[in-house]
Amino acid sequence: MNITVAGVGMTKFGELWAASPRCLAGIAVSAAIKDSKIEKKSIQGIFVANMLSGMLGMQGHLGALFAEELGLSGVPAYTVEGACASGGLAVHAGVMSILSGQYETVCVLGVEKMTDHKPELVSSALMGAGSNEERLAGATFPGLYAILARSHMEKYGTTEQQLASVAVKNHFHASLNPLAQFTHPITTEQVLRSSCVADPLKLLDCSPVTDGAAAIILTKQQKASGVHIVASQIATDSLGLAGRKSLTELASTKRASEKAFIQAGVERKSIDLAEVHDCFTIAEILAIEDMGFGKKGEVGKLIEQGAYTLGTAERIVVNSSGGLKGCGHPIGATGVKQIVEITNQLRGVCGKRQVKNARVGLAHNVGGSGATAVVHILRK
């Protein structure tokens, strides 16, 4: 498998009140097409990742909508929804469409507009990714991830300070990313003192509500100096936490990453950087452990020691973009943005947040509380 990431583009992430979804999509896709140096008319398929437009904006049918908006009317276009993993799933669908021989060049667009809507409506819509039992019980995703965090703390002695160190690291990385939602560093003290959302998770343990879009152009045409997707894998698990065998790991992440390493033919130690799904601080600890980049139960301490931080990382830098916590989490755009970040890192164009000698990168995108996990491996 060898799919070229020909072009990437994204908007600034944040509270973009002056920008509509059409505007956001236009900026991201135009940038990706320009970056790819491929003519727009060469795009044969469009995959749009989005979760909330139908529920919050009463606008479905996004494939046709954005095809028209982007001046690509007539081109086959699809909407892909998989909660917070929508972006990763859309990238996978784009990859599959090229591997099938149906298309040679496709555009994958992730877009989400969240801040125009009332917070309680956004929270309610996001619970569309949970199980019916969880909704009926009044659970929200902070509450579900708090259960995972508490389980991890009880089994492995992970501390609130270690959870906080994830947010501190990712805000530091985001402070080096001009397109991130939060470009200010934070301290462990600030995290620990922030309002409690769902014990033990505090406000600064949680990723924000964000507007944004990201786009990539995928092609089977080979580019000598390009970045290539060498693995694209998905795994699923029970929709609700009650169906899980363990609350201290996400089995979907383990399965998807194991399949991805086999597909790519690379070992874990070859990975130089990873963008992982840190919707809550505990989620990054679980991701690093479940993909084998640290021993189970020890990653919290390692993060606290700077083992995954730019400049002090021992082996792999995690979430150089700032992750979902620092860069922002526009649901459908997140998985596509991860590919944008890895691509730019492998190209060596990330400036102050550049991971030195980056050659192989991994993107990990999760839907719900682990019901879907998507893992991509890229190399240059």
Which part of the chain contacts another protein (CB under 8 A), choosing from 15-23, 165-173, 217-225, 313-321? 15-23
User: Within 117-136, which residues bind another protein (CB under 8 A)?
Assistant: 117-119
When binding is defined by CB under 8 A, the residue of 59, 115, 188, 263 that contacts another protein is 115
The distance of closest approach from Cβ of residue 340 to another protein in the complex, given in angstroms and rounded to an integer, is 26
Q: What angle do CA 143, 149, 154 make, to 5 degrees?
A: 125
**Segment near another protein (CB under 8 A); pick from 11-19, 142-150, 230-238, 348-356:** 11-19
Cis preceding-peptide flag for 330 (omega within 30 of 0) = no
Residues 6 or more apart whose Cβ sits within 8 Å of residue 333 = 10, 13, 28, 49, 87, 110, 111, 112, 212, 213, 214
Q: Locate 141 and state its tokens.
A: 């995703």
Site string for another protein, 140-179 (x = CB under 8 A): ----------------------------------------
> Which range of residues in 114-122, 130-138, 234-242, 363-371 is near another protein by CB under 8 A?
114-122
Q: Which of 137, 196, 262, 349 binds another protein (CB under 8 A)?
A: 196
Residue 327 falls in the annotated catalytic set: no
Rounded to a whole number of angstroms, the minimum distance from the CB of residue 114 to another protein is: 11
DSSP assigned state of 78:
E
Rounded Cα gap, residues 35 and 6, in angstroms: 7
171, 173, 277, 329: the catalytic one is 329
Nearer to another protein, 116 or 258 (CB): 116
Is the distance from CB of 212 to CB of 218 less than 8 angstroms?
A: no
A 10 A CB-CB count for 289 gives 24
CA distance 217 to 215: 7
Looking from the CA of 117 toward its CB, the CA atoms found within 13 Å total: 22
Distances in Å between the Cα of 33 and the Cα atoms of 8, 40, 80, 138, 332 are 7, 7, 21, 43, 19
Tokens of 88: 């990763």
Contacts with another protein by CB under 8 A: the residue count is 10
Q: Which of 104, 116, 258, 298 is in the footprint of another protein by CB under 8 A?
A: 116
Closer to another protein by Cβ: residue 100 or 195: 195
Q: Which of residues 119 and 351 has its CB atom nearest to another protein in the complex?
A: 119
CA distance 25 to 11: 8
Q: Residue 17 or 136: which CB sits closer to another protein?
A: 17
Q: Please indicate whether residue 84 is annotated as part of the active site.
A: yes
The reply to whether 245 sits near another protein by the rule CB under 8 A is no
Task: State the residues that interact with another protein by CB under 8 A.
Answer: 15, 17-18, 115-119, 195-196
Which residues are part of the catalytic machinery?
Answer: 84, 329
